[in-house]
Structure 1
Amino acid sequence: MTVYLEDEQQFFEKHLGLLEKVEAVINQCLDQEEVPYEVEVSLTIVDKAEIQEINLEHRQIDRPTDVLSFPQIDPECIGKINWDNLDTSSCVNYDTEEIILGDIILCDEIAALQAEEYGHSLEREVCFLVAHSMLHLLGYDHMTEDDEKNMRQKQENVLQCLAILR
């Protein structure tokens, strides 16, 4: 697995050890969902102004958000990527032969505010948001109450496996 990091905020320099936790979360999501390929994920850390701009451009929502996910692979249905019949020509990095899952864009400022609001560590919040985004990259969504419950349970399973607790 490769994580391409663009850390415009020097976030991971300020929070030593957190990038390793994030990479563990990504790996745990891949293991939990039994992804049979080596993959790459792009992770970008931005400020509130930039994530608001991206949110407006791609979702027509003119406000900042905590995290955005841009999957490269379309699932057959919620949570179901058919790995056996995947047309890799549309999602492979030919240099590395890894499958490109997509992009995660995380706002460090909002993550910090939410961690304080929810009364848990910044590590927990960032890892929760990365797990959430990874599940989006793996085909999950939360448009219905059942889908949201399923996705939240999968996120919690990942964090519990890594002992990243509230």
Structure 2
Amino acid sequence: MTLQIDLIDVTKELSDSDIELMESLLNYAAEKEHIEDGTELSVMIVSNDEIKKINKEYRGKNYATDVISFAMEELGDDELEIKGSNMPRILGDIIISIDKAQEQAKEYGHSFMRELGFLTIHGFLHLLGYDHIEEEDEKKMFSRQNDLLEGYGLER
């Protein structure tokens, strides 16, 4: 199982091992979620300032957040589904604030790599349709996050 991952670190702060962790973790999660080989997604690492702008523009919230996902498979009003037999599945985009990842790692008392992994999986599950608005959905999503992180070996 191999995803096609376009990982862009706008901040240039991630190490090669950070990038390898994210790609390996996403491929592990994709295998466990039975995602088709060759499925595409992008991950962008940005600053707090940049994610704040994105959060304000697309969600109407004027603050920096840790991760935002834009799922391509969720159709908005007046959008048409585009399908083709030879087209790869495109999940969407995950945007992570490196500043928030660093802050939260310290706040929660675990490694930066654990927090980066958590945010990566959290964003990935949103691309797959998981959500945490309702309490029951939150339990399901957070349980799946923990299963994937522990299964991969990224425990607290």
Q: What's the TM-score, normalizing by structure 2?
A: 0.89
What aligned pairs does 1:76-115 form with structure 2 within 5 A after superposition? Answer: 89=83, 97-115=87-105
What displacement does 1:88 show? 5.8
- Asked if structure 2 preserves the Cα contact closer than 8 Å seen for 1:37 and 1:99, the reply is no
4+ residue runs of structure 1 moved beyond 4 angstroms?
Answer: none
Q: Supply the AA of the counterpart residue of 1:105.
A: I
Cα RMSD after superposing both structures: 1.8
What displacement does 1:37 show? 4.3
Structure 1: how far apart are the matches of 2:4 and 2:149?
20
Q: Deviations 1:70-102 (Å, cap 9, x if unpaired)?
A: 000029xxxxxxxxxxx6627x9x7xx421100
Structure 2: how far apart are the matches of 1:88 and 1:38?
17
Identical-residue share of aligned pairs (%)? 38
Q: Supply the AA of the counterpart residue of 2:7.
A: L
**Partner residue in 1 for 2:41:** 41
What displacement does 1:11 show? 2.2
What displacement does 1:59 show? 0.3
Structure 2: how far apart are the matches of 1:70 and 1:128?
17
Aligned with 2:89: secondary structure? strand
Q: 1:37 to 1:16 in 2, by over 3 A?
A: closer
Structure 2: how far apart are the matches of 1:37 and 1:20?
18
**Partner residue in 2 for 1:161:** 151
Aligned with 2:16: secondary structure? coil
